[in-house]
């Protein structure tokens, strides 16, 4: 079963060129996912009573058309059958009944006390999600092997209090800001009419005060970018990401 929500792109959602920020789009997708789960017994507060929460481990997004200020969007989301420890969830974003973006996400259950990943079966006695078996769209899963040698440090961020969410870690939507703030000439890149592909792999959570170093490299044509973000405080990889324009 899917959920549909209507969202309007507001002034605080866009960049100076009027295009929707990717982080703003991810917030809309997170709202759709949350609204859907909160209709079930696996809602946030029921899980929190048992020190459990859904957390995102991968987001794959393909923006097919520019999304602009005051655009009226319809976001459709539905959960898919579990894969190992993961709960996949798909999204379709429409404007005037035309698909402007699609996304596929992977979620896991986190033990909020031990900060460890749990198997899906631990919530069987609490409730379940109404799974959609239809494969409505196709989106490639790019598996990048990132070599540290060509990467250069492009940004450093400290996790501030306002970046945290109810799970007491850096909210997943801020990762997109970290990524795109590490690119030069970002406005001109976002004006591409050939589409945007983004994949973020969330490796290890970041907590208050952690320092995140962003390392980046680009293809010769400047249309593809690899990212590796290291949590200097915890000495772990926080996330990796891949961005491409006009491909994938």
User: Domain 1-139 has what CATH class?
Assistant: alpha beta
Under 8 Å between Cβ of 179 and 236: no
The residues spanned by each domain of the chain are 1-139, 140-248
Instruction: For the chain, list residues with pLDDT below 50.
Output: 189, 191
48 three-class SS: helix
pLDDT value at residue 187: 54
H or E element at residue 78: strand 72-79
pLDDT value at residue 52: 96
Please report which residue ranges of 49-129 form alpha helices under DSSP H.
none
Identical topology for domains 1-139 and 140-248: yes
> 140-248 — its CATH code?
3.10.129.10
Instruction: Please tell me the pTM assigned to this model.
Output: 0.92
Angle at 235 between CA 231 and CA 241, to 5 degrees: 45
From 222, 239, 242, select the one nearest 230 (Cα to Cα).
239
pLDDT value at residue 144: 74
């Amino acid at each position: 079963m899917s959920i549909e929500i209507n969202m309007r792109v507001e002034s605080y959602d866009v960049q100076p060129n009027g295009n929707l920020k990717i982080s703003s789009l991810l917030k809309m997708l997170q709202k759709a996912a949350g609204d859907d789960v909160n209709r079930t017994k696996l809602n946030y507060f029921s899980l929190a009573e048992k020190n459990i929460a859904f957390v995102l481990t991968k987001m794959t997004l393909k923006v097919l058309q520019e999304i602009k200020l005051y655009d009226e969007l319809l976001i459709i989301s539905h959960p898919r059958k579990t894969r190992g420890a993961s709960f996949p969830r798909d999204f379709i974003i429409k404007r005037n009944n035309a698909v402007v973006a699609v996304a596929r996400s992977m979620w896991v259950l986190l033990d909020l006390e031990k900060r460890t990943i749990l198997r899906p079966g631990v919530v069987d006695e609490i409730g379940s999600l109404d799974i959609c078996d239809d494969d409505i769209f196709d989106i490639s899963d790019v598996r990048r092997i990132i070599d540290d040698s060509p990467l250069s440090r492009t940004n450093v961020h400290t996790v501030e209090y306002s970046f945290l969410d109810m799970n007491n870690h850096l909210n997943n939507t801020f990762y997109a800001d970290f990524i795109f703030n590490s690119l030069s000439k970002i406005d001109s890149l976002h004006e591409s009419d050939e589409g945007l592909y983004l994949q973020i792999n969330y490796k290890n959570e970041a907590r208050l005060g952690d320092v995140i170093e962003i390392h980046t490299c680009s293809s010769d044509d400047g249309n593809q970018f690899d990212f590796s973000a290291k949590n200097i405080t915890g000495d772990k990889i926080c996330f990796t990401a891949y961005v491409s324009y006009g491909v994938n």
